Each structure stands twice: as C-alpha cells, then as structure tokens.
Homo-oligomer: A and B are copies of this chain.
Amino acid sequence: MKNQKRIRDYGISIGTLKTGKLNAISDVFGVKVGHVTLKDKEIQTGVTAILPHGGNIFKEKVVASSHVINGFGKTMGTIQIEELGYIETPIILTNTLSIGTAADALVFHMLQQNEEIGISTGTVNPVVGECNDMFLNDIRGQHVTKEHVQAAIVNASGEFEEGAVGAGRGMSCYQLKGGIGSASRLIEYKGETFTLGALVLSNFGLKKDLIINGKSVGAMIEDHEENNPEEREKGSIMVILATDLPLTERQLKRISKRANVGLNRTGSYIGNGSGDIVISFSTANRIQHFEKAMTTEWQIINENYIDYAFRAVGEAVEEAVLNSMITAETTTGRNGNSRTSLQEYVELFTKS
C-alpha cells in the first residue's frame, strides 16, 4: 500500500476472487493498523496494533473467534473470546517475551478510555499475540515498552506498511525475511458485496518448503546456495482476519479454520515448534457493553453460502504470507544473524 512492491506487482495472482481497493485488512470498513518499529543493531523488534473499528471497542465489542492451528504459542485472551464470542480491545502483536508488557500497556490504555472498568463494571480482556523473533532480535532484552504499545495504537491508520516493520521487524519466514503482510478479497452474493481481509505476522517454515503459487521456489533457492545449515523450526504465525459479513462466532470459527489452506499452499507443514493462531472478527454485529434490552436483533448469514467466504480466506492468507515476505528487506540483527529478502529471488518465480 505504502508504495511498496507487493507480490501482485511481480505478476503473481493468488486465486480467482477480486481484491479490495487496498488489497489489505483495512479494506474492511473501520479497520486500522499501526506499527512501532525498533531497529538498532541487536534490537530488531516492534509492535503492531489492529483496531477493529474507530470507536470505543470496550463499549462496542465486535463478534470474534480464535482458532489454534498449532498451540506452541503464548497468545493471550482466547479463553474469553471462546466463551463470550467477542473482543473488546485492539489486538496487539509483538515478540514472545514482551507479551506481559503488551498486556499491561493494553490494559492501561483501556482503563484510560473507560473509567467504569474496575469501578462500576468488570474488567477487560486484553488480546495479545506473538511470534518469536530471537533469530534477529535480542528477545531476552525485553526491549518493548508500554509506550511503544501505546504508540502503535495511536499510529493506526487504513494505509500501513508491510514487511520488516512493527511486530514483523525481527521475524523470519521460510528462513528468509518475514514480517507483516496483508491481503483482502471481495465476496459477492446476490448483488451485495462483502469484504474479508487478512493480516499475518509470518515467522515460520523451512526454506526448502516454500511454494509460490504452486512453484517449489524454496527448493530452487536451496539449489542455488552452497551450504544450508539445518534449522529446527521455532517460529509461529499470527493470522488476523476481519470481515463485514454478518456472522456468529461459530461461523467465524469455521472461517478461521480455513486459514490453514493459505498457509499450507505456501509450503507449511505446520511444524511442532510453531505457534500458529488465528484471531478473527466481524464488524457487522456488535455487542454494546451496557446493553439494556432483553434481546437484540442480528443479521446472520445464510450458511448455505459460506463457501465463498472459505475460499476468500484461503486466498487472502496465502497472498498475505507472500506479501509479508516480498515487502521485507534483508535484515541483519542479533549476533550478526541475517535473513535475506525474497526480493533477491524474484527471477525464480517470475520466469515462467
């Protein structure tokens, strides 16, 4: 979006559905994304905030679901999402050892916005996801501060950078440079158009497995290289899905499970050491915190038509992973470790 060259700009079109205007999660009306990036030698990390809408999220919650693809991860807040079917804060992404700080900052942010919390109403459920950026980042240093988290929330806007930014700063994907990527799809039903967007924090996979639009690019890269020290996967991926389809939390969970499709098509075998977690929300049905009515009225999608949304998720997640890689520049960090950008191998997948 921000003048970065994305995977489509190299002629790679994933799937058959139309994209939204930005081809990003922020094509869903009201969704915004903000980053704070820390890059200074051994410190290669950051924070990314995803805001479901521009209002007070605690007072006007959005229907939400989570899905654990592989649970070697520390994402916070999913117990309550599963029980109650909504989120009530922005979603914060950061490195694994900074989730405590992120949660603390997010709670503080919510307290500032909502003076009833802890006085005349209950508490708040902070939602924080993470990946392990220890390869490039001094993760033990816990360099993320509460102020960084606040700033990521404040920075949020509809257009945002991808690649080695925000929480993606220190991440690796298929042993190349990973990070933040996004994509969207339009779902056209009987004259109505809905939007589904994905944002990923990519940090998983072995180089030899990378597939780009059906082509085994990873194996081709390895053929080019002299020595490939074997690594064990210690990665993760966070997938955030947003949509304006009117859904229940059960329907959202079904949609979330299709994130696998996109991941697997880029080559993932869903390794043991990877925390692969999906958090999804619909902006269409909202829950008022101080609702007084006995019942509320919802529009709910006819499930006979949900296949279109399933297809949209697979495509958007696949493209978001590729965008997270192609927009990320080669990065060197902790202990001189370095991850090469996929940009270096463009000729391998653009030649037919």
A residues in contact (CB < 8 Å) with B: 68-80, 82-85, 96-97, 99-108, 111, 117-119, 122-126, 132, 134, 138-140, 142, 189-190, 192, 211, 214-216, 232-234, 246, 248-250, 254, 257-258, 260-261, 264-265, 268-273, 275, 277, 287, 291-307, 310-311, 314
Q: Is the CB of A80 within 8 A of B76?
A: no
Query: What is the distance, in angstroms, from A120's C-beta to the closest C-beta of chain B?
Result: 9
Instruction: Return 24 A-B CB contacts under 8 Å, by A number.
Output: A71-B83, A72-B80, A74-B79, A74-B125, A74-B126, A85-B248, A85-B250, A96-B123, A97-B124, A99-B103, A100-B105, A100-B107, A118-B132, A119-B134, A233-B307, A246-B295, A260-B260, A264-B264, A271-B307, A272-B306, A291-B302, A292-B302, A297-B299, A297-B300
In the complex with contacts A71-B84, A84-B71, A264-B260, A307-B272 CB distance below 8 A:
yes
Pick from A108, A140, A257 the residue with the most CB of B within 10 Å.
Answer: A140
A-B contacts besides A118-B138, A119-B140, A291-B302, 6 pairs, CB < 8 Å: A74-B79, A74-B123, A97-B124, A104-B104, A214-B214, A298-B298
Copies, count: 4
Q: Is the CB of B246 within 8 A of A249?
A: no
- Residues on B with C-beta less than 8 A from A273 are 122, 307
Q: Is the CB of A111 within 8 A of B123?
A: no
Contacting residue for A107 out of B106, B142, B293, CB 8 A:
B142
- Residues on B with C-beta less than 8 A from A216 are 214
Query: What is the distance, in angstroms, from A143's C-beta to the closest C-beta of chain B?
Result: 12
The 6 closest A-B pairs by CB, nearest first: A71-B83, A100-B104, A100-B103, A264-B264, A214-B214, A96-B123
- Residues on B with C-beta less than 8 A from A211 are 214
Q: Is the CB of B192 within 8 A of A294?
A: yes
In the complex with contacts A102-B100, A248-B250, A307-B80 CB distance below 8 A:
no
Q: Is the CB of B293 within 8 A of A108?
A: no
- Residues on B with C-beta less than 8 A from A293 are 302
- Residues on B with C-beta less than 8 A from A291 are 302, 304
Q: Is the CB of B295 within 8 A of A296?
A: no
Query: What is the distance, in angstroms, from A117's C-beta to the closest C-beta of chain B?
Result: 7
